[in-house]
Structure 1
Amino acid sequence: MSGPSVHELQNVDWSRLARPEDDGAAGHLRGATVAEIALAATDGSAVSLASLTGRTVLYIYPMTAKPGVALPDGWDDIPGARGCTPQSCAFRDHHADLLHAGAAQVFGLSTQTPDDQREAANRLHLPFALLSDADLRFATAMGLPSMTVADSVLLRRMTLIIFDGRVEHVFYPVWPPDRNAAEVLEWLKVHRT
């Protein structure tokens, strides 16, 4: 069984939403050593991105909406906020291609709780784990760009390519979110090791 396709989710008119601008907040990440912090994964494991070998694709997003739960007021007016489900579904649909192009593993990460992450991973039928940084330890250690929405600290959307514990490449800002997986795939094809 598969989840909603990217095509089913592409009824979003990205041109009507607030587009994120490069504010330089991720400029320090390229070349950075990844913090040695264990993150709760939806498969029940604890993942330390610093300890993984090979290329890791880590897409970072604000929050995945839950069915029946309203998004925060003004969500569509926050630059780059909308699009977490289409982004996750695109990484799901491109997962095999990403691995074939040289990614050793793929993860998604947000500040949502492990239970919220598990719900999204199951509902969207993701073939990879989502990671929870609900306590903001990883975000703080890495200096990830964030925003406060409805009294919650959320991460700004970006994708990191990590190679043997070091950030090799940064996609920031990411827009539109549903095309990010294809952009990462093209980057991997050009930068095969």
Structure 2
Amino acid sequence: METDLTYLPPHLPVPEDDGACDHLSGIQIPAVQLPSTDGTKVSLRDIPGRLVIYCYPMTGPSHIPLPPGWDEIPGARGCTPQACSFRDHYQELQQLQTAVFGMSTQSPEMQRSERERIHLPFHLLSDEQRYFSEALRLPLHYVESLVLLKRVTLVFEDGYLRKYFYPVFPPDKNIDAVLAYLKATTR
């Protein structure tokens, strides 16, 4: 059975702010290199100016079943709608001179097929080894044998975290809050 991953079912449980990101304000981006969907390794610390990283649990083609109980996990469902919303507003992000990446703990191969499937104009980064998430102590979902990032969006400027959005809900509206913040703080 295929699932329409662009659709957000009604009555999804809303994630609560558990304080798991309270320590992030002002933190420097870690000096790690992450595999990108273009086949290179990206050093996020070397990206000047503004950088948005939206962290998400997982995406996948609709023929791969979601983990059991996925829709009951607060904040888990909605990765494809979130990615598509960043895709649809990519030109605005560019006009605001902001680089953007999506990030999950999925393999670069899985992310590459997803980037192609949903036609993302930006790259996805794999934190499969969890170097980035452990350095920042980002919140995680533990689902069966999977260790997945909880949904959090990070806004860095010149290598330092200036704003985070957590919890993110609904995921397809996260871009609106990110754009509002970027516009309000544009120099």
TM over 0.5: yes
- Residue 12 of structure 1 corresponds to 8
Cα offset, 1:182, TM superposition? 1.6
Cα offset, 1:13, TM superposition? 3.5
Contact 1:94 1:182 in 2 (8 A): no
- Residue 82 of structure 1 corresponds to 77
Cα offset, 1:51, TM superposition? 1.5
Q: Secondary structure at the match of 1:112?
A: coil
Matches within 5 A, 1:1-193: 9=6, 11-14=7-10, 16-103=11-98, 105-193=99-187
In structure 1, distance between residues paired with 2:176 and 2:41: 28
Cα offset, 1:66, TM superposition? 2.1
In structure 2, distance between residues paired with 1:106 and 1:131: 10
In structure 1, the gaps of 5 or more residues are: 1-7
Contact 1:102 1:192 in 2 (8 A): no
Cα offset, 1:165, TM superposition? 1.0
- Residue 4 of structure 1 corresponds to none
TM-score, normalised to structure 1, is 0.92
Q: Secondary structure at the match of 1:36?
A: coil
Name the Cα RMSD after superposition.
Answer: 1.2
TM-score, normalised to structure 2, is 0.95
In structure 1, distance between residues paired with 2:117 and 2:184: 33
In structure 2, the gaps of 5 or more residues are: none
The size of the alignment, in residue pairs, is: 183
In structure 1, distance between residues paired with 2:163 and 2:51: 11
In structure 2, distance between residues paired with 1:26 and 1:85: 23
In structure 2, distance between residues paired with 1:38 and 1:98: 23
Contact 1:58 1:159 in 2 (8 A): yes
Q: Secondary structure at the match of 1:138?
A: helix
Cα offset, 1:170, TM superposition? 0.3
Q: Secondary structure at the match of 1:168?
A: strand
1:25-62 deviation per Cα after TM superposition (whole angstroms, max 9, x unaligned): 01111100111000000011211111110000100000
In structure 1, distance between residues paired with 2:110 and 2:43: 20
